[in-house]
Amino acid sequence: MTFKIFLHRKAAKLIEGLNPRDRERVKEGLKSLEGFPAGGLDIVKISGEDNVYRIRFGKLRALFKVYRSEKAIVIIKIDHRKRVYG
């Protein structure tokens, strides 16, 4: 099943502010979400939330929500691991 990936504007703004190495790592990781729930990715479901997951990119985390009926993934937030869950 192939998913479409959508970025919240705040997540897109944070990606643009990253250094080039981290920016490419995040972009490649988000692109790989099209094949969700593919193996090989560090994805964990967020407890207490419906269809909300996180993917890890080194010290960065991205929170995303999966809409299975629409085959869409919305990247809600990307930030450093200390700040992303707050």
Condensed to tens digits (0 to 9), the pLDDT of residues 29-80 reads 899 888 888 767 889 999 999 999 999 998 999 999 999 999 999 999 999 8
DSSP assignments along 32-79, one per residue: HGGG-S-TTS-EEEPTTSSSEEEEEETTEEEEEEEETTTTEEEEEEEE
pTM of the model: 0.89
**Under 8 Å between Cβ of 59 and 80:** yes
CB atoms within 10 A of CB 71: 13
